[in-house]
Structure 1
Amino acid sequence: MRKSRLYILGLVTLVLFPLIGITIIGFVEDNPWAYEIPFQLGWHFQTIIGLVFGVLAGFLAWRMIRLPFMTPVRAKYGVLIHQLGLSTFDIFFISFCAGVGEELLFRGALQTYLGIWPTAIFFVAIHGYLNPMDWRISVYGILMTLIIAILGYFTADFGILTSIVAHFAIDVVLLFYLTKSNPDETD
Structure 2
Amino acid sequence: MTPPPSSDLPKPPAAARPPIRLSAQVLTCLVMCLIAAAIIWFTQDAPLAVFTRPAAPMWQLVIGQGLALLAAAVSYGLYRLGASSESTARTIATYARLDLAGFNPLWMALAAAIGEEMLFRAALQPLLGVWIVSLLFLVTHVPVYRFRKLDRASLVQAAGVFGSSVVLGLIFQYVGLIAAILVHLWIDIVGLLVVRSAIRSRTM
TM-score range (shorter-chain normalised) is 0.7 to 0.9
Q: Match of 1:167, SS?
A: helix
Matches of 2:24 and 2:45, distance apart in 1: 28
Task: Report the residue type matching 2:122 in the other structure.
Answer: G
RMSD: 3.0
Greater alpha carbon shift after TM alignment, 176-185 vs 16-25: 176-185
Greater Rg over alpha carbons, structure: 2
Matches of 1:66 and 1:60, distance apart in 2: 10
Checking the alignment, whether the CA contact within 8 Å between 1:55 and 1:173 is kept in structure 2 is: no
Decide which structure has greater helix share: 1
Do residues 71 (structure 1) and 85 (structure 2) align?
yes
Give 1:156's aligned residue.
173
Checking the alignment, whether the CA contact within 8 Å between 1:79 and 1:183 is kept in structure 2 is: no
Which consecutive residues of structure 1, in runs of 5 or more, have no partner in the other structure? Answer: none
Matches of 1:183 and 1:64, distance apart in 2: 20
Give 2:26's aligned residue.
11
Alignment of 1:169-184 (within 5 A): 169-181=186-198
Checking the alignment, whether the CA contact within 8 Å between 2:67 and 2:183 is kept in structure 1 is: yes
Alignment of 1:85-164 (within 5 A): 86-128=100-142, 131=147, 133-164=150-181
Do residues 37 (structure 1) and 50 (structure 2) align?
yes
Which consecutive residues of structure 2, in runs of 5 or more, have no partner in the other structure? Answer: 1-16
Q: Give the TM-score of the pair, scaled to structure 1.
A: 0.78
Matches of 2:155 and 2:84, distance apart in 1: 11
Matches of 2:194 and 2:182, distance apart in 1: 18
Matches of 2:113 and 2:139, distance apart in 1: 17
User: CA offsets per residue over residues 52-107 of structure 1, 9 Å max, x none?
Assistant: 32333233334334445863232233245445451341011001101111101111
Checking the alignment, whether the CA contact within 8 Å between 2:52 and 2:176 is kept in structure 1 is: yes
Q: Match of 2:85, SS?
A: helix
Q: Give the TM-score of the pair, scaled to structure 2.
A: 0.73
- Give the percent of matched residue pairs that are identical in Structure 1 and Structure 2: 25
Alignment of 1:47-86 (within 5 A): 47-68=61-82, 71-82=85-96, 84=98, 86=100
Matches of 1:23 and 1:167, distance apart in 2: 22
Matches of 2:94 and 2:81, distance apart in 1: 19
Q: CA deviation at 1:50?
A: 2.2
Distance 1:69 1:146, change over 3 A: same
User: CA offsets per residue over residues 99-128 of structure 1, 9 Å max, x none?
Assistant: 111101111000011101211222133212
Q: Match of 1:37, SS?
A: helix
Q: Match of 2:103, SS?
A: helix
